[in-house]
């Protein structure tokens, strides 16, 4: 991973685990660490994949 790439981690706050990314994103508090890790993986895939899949906003009405 290069210095310009974003990185996801999980942090624990009491009984909760929270996924965070160096881009500033943070996921919801989860009681299960595995679910927080899944949140981080989903964010990394959707927001930081080379193809940009899932990064486009919804079309206007």
Task: List, as one string, the DSSP characters of the chain.
Answer: --TTS--EEEEEETTEEEEEETTS-B---BSSHHHHHHHHHHHHHHHHSTT-TT-SPPPP-
Q: Is residue 59 part of a domain?
A: no
Q: Give the burial class of 57: count Cβ atoms within 10 A of its Cβ; 0-12 exposed, 13-18 middle, 19 or more buried.
A: exposed
**Tell me, what's the pLDDT at 58?**
46
pTM over 0.85? The answer is: no
Q: Is residue 55 part of a domain?
A: no
39, 28 contact by CB (below 8 A): yes
Task: Note down the domain range covering 26.
Answer: 8-48
Q: Is residue 56 part of a domain?
A: no
**Tell me, what's the pLDDT at 35?**
97
Report the pLDDT averaged over residues 17-27.
96
Residue 7 has pLDDT above 80, yes or no: yes
Residue 56 has pLDDT above 50, yes or no: no
Q: How many domains does the chain have?
A: 1
pLDDT band at 3 (very low <50, low <70, confident <90, very high): very low
Report the pLDDT averaged over residues 49-58.
56
């Amino acid at each position: 991973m290069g210095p310009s790439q974003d990185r996801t981690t999980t942090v624990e706050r009491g009984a909760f685990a929270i996924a965070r990314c160096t881009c500033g994103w943070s996921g919801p508090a989860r009681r299960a660490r595995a679910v927080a890790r899944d949140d981080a993986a989903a964010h990394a895939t959707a927001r930081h994949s080379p193809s940009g899949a899932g990064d486009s906003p919804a079309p206007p009405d």
